[in-house]
A and B are shown apart, each in its own frame.
Chain A
């Protein structure tokens, strides 16, 4: 028998105590003066620490990020960063200035090019690119932060935090850090005597600092209806009639593109005319998209749970508490972890877009010279094998995929793309750029956003391909070629086989669905401008100035 291990069992707690003592010896209490933040960070962060820097689609702990980047790399170095997104210039500065050396993350949108350069120069080591839930999960297993730098709307004197409508990723970050001997530091937009509500209790928070300006928020989910094209209207009509109506899709998530914005704006018009109100699109895991306002106002939508909020939507959302999740204080509570869980297990459909798709229906938004990650799409765009509850949409899809005696259902995972992007770049390709990117980055896997075997349908201007009904790899390939339009992949189709697939309903054209493409005009959109959205909201939606032209 082995002897009992002789070791300390509270080294994390001791480390935490030493860090807090260092801060106290410098005269710091719980409330940190703005101009002293670098001194505090240098006192409590140690070389080699795992640090979580909060930020996602909406709010960013931008002041803490910039302050950390301004710390002395002789004192703080070899940090291992864990964070949802690498979005701000200061996030990349951490690596360029030698403070941090390793990164585990989910999405790097605007910094994708700088990140790729750092990888090629071997100045950064990427642990892995995750989907959000996966990264949050690892916070509770092998990537627990030593220090979390978070963003809140307000703090009271004790250090309780109010997060406002943009809760986003804060709960899992704080919980993982605070309960495993870590240090939690919050930047706040304001200090108040009494918070509207307590989102994070003070004893989970070690320090608060008033940011010199409110945390940065990006209106990422605002799509101007004026930019929706007739081709997008046509694809939206096909999706509504050929998928939403046929499967009776009630619970769903939409991507952020103009394609799905067009669907949202056709609900009160085209879908209502088809008699679909109450039959589709009743329950959503979705950010408060301004383009969903007409559908909400028309009574289509019963419930929306949000990952985060959206700039300008707060008053509208607060005034629709039957639809959104609103606290007793009257403001929304969002939560990315729970909304992603809903997107995975409780939604019958995910529909989104991509930049490239291959003949196995693998899709990716990664292009050469950029490392971007995919945020929540790989999670929501996957068929969860852990689901056990049934719904008509899930059962119908399951029977199409596995036959009439299926013992499981199937999530609908729909990719909606025009066959060509801007500058005539074909979406359908023989090989994804992801494979070249994998080689140039030395990654374990090609960065694929949604695996082809998860995809159930593809919608293009040429029609809908139902991959669930394909019985051989050859049929799948021709089903994809058969809706790939005039791309080289589309033109290389086997015409006889494609016509056979059409006869079997695996490929359906607009006319097969009883849709006249010439009816696809912008007149069908419930709102044709941002101003229309404001009108639908009764003046409650306050769009950011860049979306105002009146």
Chain B
């Protein structure tokens, strides 16, 4: 198990509803919880992953997500069981959409 924390600048999220949960913790998959944070221009992410040694890849995946989505003002918690970057990116987009009320 490895724990990683990242914080990226991101455009403020358009609207928020209740905390959103997306995905399941299973082999090759992950669970993402999106909640509101206190810094409107920042996306804070806390990752617990079963696969050690992929910090740089996580940084690139999350950085790309924060740059291409308006995710500022959120705190995102991830429980990962070896999901590939493709799955992580897709889940993040789904979770953020859910958080914004399924938009």
**Which residues of A are at the interface with B, using a C-beta cutoff of 8 A?**
229-231, 234, 418-420, 422-424, 460-462, 485-486, 491, 517-518, 520
Interchain CB contact under 8 A, A486 and B85: yes
Known: A420-B86, A485-B86, A486-B60. 6 other contacts (CB 8 A): A234-B90, A418-B86, A424-B51, A461-B89, A461-B90, A486-B61
Asked if B19 lies at the interface with its beta carbon under 8 angstroms from chain A, I say no
CB distance from A335 to the nearest CB of B (A): 38
Judge whether B97 is part of the interface by a CB distance below 8 angstroms. yes
Complex Cα spacing A422 to B87, Å: 12
| Residue pair B93, A517 in contact (C-beta under 8 Å) | yes
Q: Is the CB of B60 within 8 A of A231?
A: no
Q: Of B51, B57, B82, B90, which contacts A486 at CB under 8 A?
A: B57
Distance in angstroms from B66 CB to nearest chain A CB is 14
Chain B contacts of A230 at CB under 8 A? 87, 90
Enumerate chain A residues within 8 angstroms of B51, measured Cβ to Cβ: 424
B28 lies within 8 A of chain A by Cβ? yes
B35 at the A interface (CB under 8 A): no
Task: Considering the complex, give the chain B residue whose CB is closest to the CB of A231.
Answer: B86
- Asked if B94 lies at the interface with its beta carbon under 8 angstroms from chain A, I say yes
Which residues of chain B have a CB within 8 Å of any CB of chain A?
A: 28, 51, 54, 57, 60-61, 64, 82, 84-87, 89-90, 93-94, 97
Q: A419 touching B82 by the CB < 8 A rule?
A: no
Give Cα A460–Cα B85 distance, bound, in whole angstroms: 12
The answer to whether A517 and B90 touch (CB under 8 A), given A422-B28, A424-B54, is yes
Q: Inside 8 A of A423's CB, which chain B residues have their CB? A: 82
Which 9 A-B residue pairs are closest in the complex by CB-CB distance?
A461-B86, A486-B85, A420-B84, A231-B86, A486-B60, A518-B94, A518-B97, A418-B86, A486-B57
B61 to chain A: which residues have CB within 8 Å?
486
CA distance A78 to B50 in the complex (A): 52
Q: A520–B93 Cα gap in the complex (Å)?
A: 11
Contact: A424 with B82, CB < 8 Å?
yes
Return chain A residues, CB-CB under 8 Å to B86.
231, 418-420, 460-462, 485
Q: Are A491 and B60 in contact (CB under 8 A)?
A: yes
Whether the pair A419, B90 counts as a contact (CB closer than 8 A) is: no
Is B85 touching A419 in the complex (CB atoms < 8 A)? Answer: yes
Q: When chains A and B are docked, how far (Å) is the Cα of A223 from the Cα of B82?
A: 23
Please pick, from B57, B84, B97, the residue contacting A231 in the complex, using a CB distance under 8 A.
B84
Chain B, Cβ-Cβ closest to A491:
B60
| CA distance in complex: A518, B97 (Å) | 8
Q: Bound state CA distance, A231 and B28, in angstroms?
A: 12
B90 CB contacts on chain A under 8 angstroms: 230-231, 234, 461, 517-518, 520
* Chain B min CB distance to A79 (Å): 45
Our pick among B64, B84, B93 for the contact of A424 (Cβ within 8 Å) is B84
A231 touches B87 (CB 8 A): yes
Q: Which of B54, B57, B64 has the largest count of A CB atoms less than 10 A from its CB?
A: B57
Q: How far is the CA of A234 from the CA of B61 in the complex (A)?
A: 18
| B80 → chain A closest CB, angstroms | 12
Residues of B within 8 A of A491 (CB): 60
A233 to B46, CA, bound (A): 28
Give bound CA distance, A357 to B54, whole Å. 22
Which residues of chain B come closer than 8 Å to A234, judged between CB atoms? 90
Q: How far is the CB of B2 from chain A (nearest CB, A)?
A: 13
Q: Which residues of A contact B87 (CB under 8 A)?
A: 229-231
Can you spell out 25 A-B residue pairs with CB atoms less than 8 angstroms apart?
Answer: A229-B28, A229-B87, A230-B87, A231-B90, A234-B90, A418-B84, A418-B86, A419-B86, A420-B84, A420-B85, A422-B28, A423-B82, A424-B54, A424-B57, A424-B82, A424-B84, A460-B86, A461-B89, A461-B90, A491-B60, A517-B90, A517-B93, A518-B90, A518-B93, A520-B90
> How far in angstroms is the closest Cβ of chain B from A329?
46
List chain B residues, Cβ under 8 A from A485.
Answer: 85-86
Question: Which residues of B sit under 8 angstroms from A460, Cβ to Cβ?
Answer: 86
Residue of A nearest to B29 (CB): A229
> Could you tell me the distance between the alpha carbons of A520 and B90 in the complex, rounded to whole angstroms?
9
C-alpha spacing A491/B59, complex, angstroms: 12
Note all chain A residues with C-beta closer than 8 A to B85: 419-420, 485-486
Tell me the bound Cα distance from A423 to B60 in angstroms: 18
Enumerate chain B residues within 8 angstroms of A420, measured Cβ to Cβ.
84-86
Which of A420, A486, A491, A520 has the most B CB atoms < 10 Å from its CB? A486
B97 proximity list for chain A (CB < 8 A): 518
Task: Tell me the bound Cα distance from A333 to B61 in angstroms.
Answer: 50
CB neighbours of B84 from chain A (8 A): 231, 418-420, 424
**Which chain A positions have C-beta within 8 A of B28?**
229, 422
Q: How long is the Cα–Cα vector from A414 to B43 in the complex, in angstroms?
A: 37
* Complex: A485 Cα to B85 Cα, angstroms: 8
Bound complex: CA of A486 vs CA of B90, how far in Å?
A: 14
In whole angstroms, how far apart are the Cα atoms of A491 and B9 in the complex? 20
Residues from chain A with Cβ under 8 Å of B64 in the complex = 486
Bound complex: CA of A518 vs CA of B93, how far in Å? Answer: 7
